[in-house]
Structure 1
Amino acid sequence: MVDPVGEGLDRSLEEAFTRPVPQSAQARMRYLVKQLKGTGAVARLLGVSQRTVERYVKGQLKRPRPDLRDRMEREVRKRWQPKVRERARKKASTTDGLILSTRARFGFTAAPGTTDDARVRDITQALTPQWADRLFTARDQGASEQQLQNIAAEGLAEMYFRDNNRRAHGLGVEFTDIDRVDIGL
């Protein structure tokens, strides 16, 4: 996993899709051509020739090599149902929040003599709309994966470890060695 939090945010928005993403190479290529308004733009985006794009659109080519197939799928998913994606993001950021499920190493920094050693934990925690908004806003503004992980760690620290700031005041949480991150709406 290269970007577990960023990819988790993307997957969470994909849960809201109301129609399936195009599956065939021809359907994916047609969708990209329609979205980018031309075969030349799609060719530049995917790193192939304009003629190759035209062949996929016509159905003359059907089975892209694995790297092209993955790029096509990623680009189609990124653009699929933008209004549905935006509604889901807005709902999570204003009323519903997110469910963050992770397996990672958590360590704590607190007052001297109260620090726990870091250990791997499985945690599933609801995060308030405030944390959902912070994560989505940071993602939209081009935050790095480390910055997204820091925001997620702050959210888990507040909601899980400090029980919505009702206990363990001043407890700082370190979120490292991430095994998995799943984010749901």
Structure 2
Amino acid sequence: MSDHEQQQPAPRRGKVLEALTRAERKVFTRPVPKSANAQVKFLLTRAKESVRSLAERVGTSTRTIERYRAGKLKKPQKRLQAALVEATESEWQPQVRARAREQASTSSGMMVEVTAYFGFTCTGSSDDGRIRTITTPISPTYARQILDLQEAGATEEDLHPIVAEAITESYFTEWGTRADGLRADFTHVQTIEFMF
């Protein structure tokens, strides 16, 4: 078995978690290293030059990491390439990401654009649930809750109710000015994007 065949597939996350990750990465002010060699060198600085630690993180052997660092290997297989990209982007510009998260949590909030099935609970409601595309702001209070849950390792199922509450507040009840008591849930998320 070659070093490349020992690689583990990158873990899959739900659409909400992936959308939050994409939103953070859109705020980068410098380009992320693109080549496997540059990614390995960057990740080794983050891992305090621990080849073993990096190899375990991206699911390959220490020998493979050494060969990429030395420039002997250039083009990784898809699984290793995906793991290197994910690891590099998750470590890239932590201060820029932290500043964007702090601003969203305290002053500006964030925007969400989602296409999903929205169902409702409300006394006297005649609006049946259906697929909707909604673009709406999320208040800093809800932005903080969502980002805190993400940081704490929340699952997709943990995030859905809080995102639904945030959308209900801004879109369906217009910050509490109408449809008192309405509660919206969303399922079957087709697409979702967050913007800081």
TM-score (norm 1): 0.96
Q: Gaps spanning 5+ residues in structure 1: where?
A: none
Which of 153, 178, 196 aligns to 1:167? It is 178
Please name the residue that 2:149 is paired with.
138
Q: How does 1:17-166 map to 2 (within 5 A)?
A: 17-37=28-48, 38-111=50-123, 113-166=124-177
Deviations 1:28-81 (A, max 9, x none): 011111101111111111121111100001110001000110011001111111
SS of alignment partner, residue 10 of structure 1: helix
Q: Gaps spanning 5+ residues in structure 2: where?
A: 1-11
Runs of 4+ in 1 over 6 A off after TM superposition: none
| Root-mean-square deviation over aligned CA pairs | 1.2
Task: Count the aligned residue pairs.
Answer: 184
Mapped partners of 1:79, 1:2: distance in 2: 18
Mapped partners of 1:115, 1:106: distance in 2: 14
| TM-fit CA distance, 1:168 | 0.7
TM-score (norm 2): 0.91
Mapped partners of 1:127, 1:45: distance in 2: 34
Deviations 1:111-163 (A, max 9, x none): 1x424221111100011111110110011111111111111100001110011
**Is this contact kept in 2: 1:102–1:122, CA < 8 A?**
yes
| TM-fit CA distance, 1:94 | 0.6
Mapped partners of 2:63, 2:188: distance in 1: 44
Identity %: 38
